[in-house]
Amino acid sequence: MTSLTESTPPTVAATPKQGGDVRARWAWTEPSVWTERMLTALETGVKGGKWFSLIDKVWKPANLESAWHKVRANGGAGGVDHKTVAQFDRRAAQELDDLGSALREGRYSPSGVRRAYIPKPGSAEKRPLGIPTVRDRVVQAALRQVLEPIYEATFAPTSYGFRPGRGCRDALREVARHLDAGHLYIVDVDIRKYFDSIPHEALMARVAEQVADERVLRLLQQFLKQGVMEQGQVTEPEAGTPQGGVISPLLANVYLNPLDHLLAAQGYAAVRYADDMVILCRTFAEAEAALDLLRHWVTAAGLELHPEKTRIVDMTQNGSSFDFLGYRFKRVRRRLLRFPRPKSLARLRDAVRPLTRRTNGRSMAETVRQLNPVLRGWFEYFQHSYANVFPSVDGWIRMRLRSILRKRHHLRGRGRGLDHHRWPNAFFAEQGLFSLAAAHAAACQSVRR
């Protein structure tokens, strides 16, 4: 069986809990909030297990300014007040001062969120987003900088989504490691509309297990109850933490953290990225038991598993597969291989098409210059796919470019046939076009060396 484990070493190590420099271990935390004494308390524990007196850290000018810099760097659209990041930036000092005063004096109240929808590649459905105002995003970012280290100290190592120093590649590497170790019965988990269905009361109870500052809890409650504006109508959500909010990923992890620890305590190999999860088992019976445990926990937590998408996959069977974080893991005869899942390929094509329209009017050199960052970024993530993926994608891209050249020579149709002789692959290489197949071959050669 072919090993799926990537050759590069893991980038995430377990956080040491004693010895050494505590500031170095928590280097990602906001220094204006988290003093060395507070960081030490994260590791040694606080009296009663709960944190008090946190609201003054939220409105601290340095924390608000740091939060604003992160919001500005992320950009994004305006909320219900239509104020853009650029408009906020023009009078940022006054805006931050006003926010600090409102928070200190208990006058701050978040605006509603603007409902927007983004397409889900490969699906007729659209993903709902709740876009807060820039002002509210700054407060959420400041609040997250205060709260995140408290919960990060308790999160399970099997959780990878929206956590400092962790990411998709680490989660994929862990899945590959378990598959290589013989965990070939996969519980493919889909929690139906997770972000939209988290029960507010249960979530707040979980948050309050470690935070006892009433003003902080009240602020969080306000964000959960923000009205959602859609087509001129405002509705107050009864559940969920809207995707698009700065604080939402942290709250989503807080709510699923007990499930991570329960699965680990029962000896299951699970990997979770936000609401995407797989449980990897050695036998079908073990997978059935894991699924039964999962069902009971999810139901008790007020959530629901998708009845069709949640399933057990037997990866010992030829042709069996499951998708995780953009990849498709598939058994092909006696080999376990990785491919970009169809939606990932569709997303690449959607990014390439606008750059390669036949009537774009740009020179070939300029078209290639705009294409290359898209191709490099896609390859950087999907470079561990099976080798035959890349020549076919390269061929489709060159077909788009040949079609442009045909149009400029007053010829109709797509680039094919004799066009391969008029403009051979070497022509596009001379233009500097990034080749996925060549990059993959070079990466494999580097690993062998």
- For residue 243, what is the DSSP state? B
Residue 86 burial (CB count, 10 A): 11
Q: What backbone torsions phi and psi does residue 400 show, to the nearest 5 degrees?
A: -65, -40
How far is 203 from 248, CA to CA, in rounded Å?
11
The answer to whether residue 6 scores a pLDDT higher than 60 is: no
Over residues 29-48, the pLDDT tens digits come to: 999 999 999 999 999 999 89
Q: How far is CA 337 from the centre of its chain?
A: 23
Place of tokens 């294409």: 371
For residues 385-390, average pLDDT: 96
Choose the weakest-confidence range: 78-92, 306-320, 403-417: 403-417
Instruction: Check whether 377 has a pLDDT greater than 50.
Output: yes
The predicted-structure confidence for 223-259, as pLDDT tens digits, reads as follows 999 988 887 778 888 999 978 889 999 999 999 999 9
The per-residue pLDDT of the chain, averaged, comes to: 92
pLDDT tens across 323-343, in order? 999 999 999 998 999 999 999
Find the angle CA(111)-CA(203)-CA(104) to the nearest 5 degrees: 45
Please, which pLDDT band fits residue 123 given cuts at 50, 70 and 90? low
pTM of the model: 0.90
- 1 band by pLDDT with thresholds 50, 70 and 90: very low
pLDDT at position 364: 95
Q: What is the pLDDT of residues 63-95, one digit of tens each?
A: 999 999 999 999 988 999 999 999 999 999 999
Contact yes or no for 122/346 (Cβ under 8 A): yes
> Is 90 exceeded by the pLDDT of residue 205?
yes
Average pLDDT over residues 298-327: 97
Euclidean distance between CA atoms 327 and 342, whole angstroms: 9
Nearest to 245 by CA among 266, 223, 262: 223
Nearest CA among 391, 107, 145, 383 for reference residue 246: 145
